[in-house]
């Protein structure tokens, strides 16, 4: 079993190194993709500026004969490459958090934005300035939103299909909430532009606090700080899911199909093999019969190695005999003659060293 444990540890280390190499390679590739996307987007900005200057010059020179660029005829006013609509979808480019916070500052910030799809807003910038529309979608990562009817553009798809009108992202800072409030002077209820919203914990008098809103909507209330008035959220509807042939109904999920007692395992034995690979090299837990089989193989291997060691050649037998004789003799002992000879050699070596150094024995002793 030690061999299996070492094999699993080796496989885990190898898999970790492979995953680290893959992560580093993907990170480098993401940097390259992001750099290419930024380059293409910058080129698009430059081209748009050139086209705008050219269009302004044509409009001035042609006058009433200038092309109707806002109607989408002959690709005038058509977005060919909508790269800068949402850079987060290209490569690994992400908007800075402070940009989204600045855009959503008037509505409570990007983390607790006090706007929701279905709110009525007024447009403060662009060619649709002053128009009221309904929010269709909100992108919190970029601090932008799209409207139902306005701020659209003709977009040409990559499939050589005719251009079609699509909503374009609009900064949250470019709109303000519109809600009917009573006039403090006349008492007449009319649409009022709300220029600041603040998030507060839900109160007892919170309007339209339903189960659907608590599960799928925002769980805080929004108020107008200057009026201390709660602005109700749009009606939150539970998402409708359609049943497909591959889906499992709830009654089938809750149906009890396995019964067990205290003497039985909590799940069928075959379920374990379905949850994990039965033959995986990362497997660390094994059945008793497998462990017994591996231990039996180890014992058989050891017995075979002993048998092989018992079969020796004449040279191996002679070497073993010599080792036994040396072991029986024990450690060698030095005789007096050997010690005297060693002393003579040491004295002679010392005298030669002193002679080479030009020092006499008397001076060396002093």
Question: Is the confidence at residue 177, as pLDDT, over 60?
Answer: yes
7-28 tens-digit pLDDT = 889 999 999 999 999 999 999 9
Question: Is the confidence at residue 161, as pLDDT, over 70?
Answer: yes
Whole-number pLDDT of residue 239: 84
27-57 tens-digit pLDDT = 999 999 989 888 888 898 898 899 889 988 9
Q: Kindly indicate the confidence band of residue 165, based on its pLDDT and cuts at 50, 70 and 90.
A: confident
For every residue of the chain, which 3-state class applies, written as one string?
Answer: CHHHHHHHHHHHHHHHHHHHHHHHHHHHHHHHHHHHHHHHHHHHHHHHHHHHHHHHHHHHHHHHHCCCHHHCHHHCCEECCCCCCCHHHCCCCCCCHHHHHHHCHHHCCCCCCCCCCCCEEEECCCCCCCCEEEEEEEECCCCEEEECCCCEEEECCCCCCCCEEEECCEEHHHEEEEEEEECCCCCCEEEEEECCCEEECCCCCCCCCCHHHHHHCCCCEEEECCCCEEECCCCCCCCCCCCCCCCCCHHHHHCCCCCCCCCCCCCCHHHHHHHCCCCCCCCCCCCHHHHHHHHHHHHHHHHHHHHHHHCCCHHHHHHHHHHHHHHHHCCCCCCHHHHHHHHHHHHHHHHHHHHHHCCCHHHHHC
251-293 tens-digit pLDDT = 888 998 877 778 877 777 778 788 888 888 888 888 888 889 9
Q: Kindly indicate the confidence band of residue 94, based on its pLDDT and cuts at 50, 70 and 90.
A: low
Whole-number pLDDT of residue 77: 65
């Amino acid at each position: 079993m030690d061999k299996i444990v070492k094999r699993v540890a080796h496989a885990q280390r190898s898999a970790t190194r492979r995953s680290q190499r893959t992560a580093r390679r993907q990170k480098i590739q993401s940097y390259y993709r992001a750099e290419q996307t930024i380059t293409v987007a910058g080129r698009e900005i430059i081209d748009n500026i050139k086209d705008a200057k050219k269009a302004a010059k044509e409009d001035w020179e042609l006058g009433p004969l200038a092309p109707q660029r806002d109607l989408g005829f002959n690709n005038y006013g058509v977005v060919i490459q909508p790269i800068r609509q949402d850079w987060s979808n290209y490569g690994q480019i992400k908007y800075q958090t402070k940009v989204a916070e600045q855009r959503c500052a008037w509505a409570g910030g990007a983390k607790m934005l006090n706007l929701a799809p279905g709110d009525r807003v007024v447009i403060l910038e662009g060619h649709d300035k002053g128009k009221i529309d309904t929010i269709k979608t909100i992108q919190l990562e970029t601090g932008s939103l799209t409207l139902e009817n306005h701020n659209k553009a003709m977009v040409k798809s990559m499939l050589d299909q005719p251009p079609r009108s699509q909503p374009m992202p609009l900064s949250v800072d470019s709109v303000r909430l519109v809600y009917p409030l009573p006039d403090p002077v006349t008492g007449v209820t009319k649409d009022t532009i709300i220029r600041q919203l603040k998030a507060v914990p839900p109160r007892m008098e919170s309007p339209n606090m339903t189960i659907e809103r608590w599960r799928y909507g925002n769980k805080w209330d929004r108020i107008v700080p200057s009026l201390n008035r709660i602005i109700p959220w749009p009606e939150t509807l539970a998402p409708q899911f359609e049943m497909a042939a591959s889906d499992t109904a709830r009654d089938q999920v809750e149906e009890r199909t396995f019964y067990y007692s205290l003497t039985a395992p909590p799940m069928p034995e075959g379920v374990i093999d379905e949850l994990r690979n039965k033959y995986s090299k990362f497997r660390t837990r094994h059945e008793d019969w497998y462990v017994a089989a591996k231990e039996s193989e180890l014992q058989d291997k050891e017995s075979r190695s002993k048998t092989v060691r018992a079969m020796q050649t004449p040279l191996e037998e002679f070497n073993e005999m010599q080792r036994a004789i040396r072991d029986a003799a024990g450690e060698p002992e030095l005789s007096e003659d050997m010690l005297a000879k060693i002393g003579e050699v040491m004295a002679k070596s010392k005298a030669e060293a002193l002679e080479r150094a030009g020092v006499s024995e008397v001076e060396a002793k002093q």
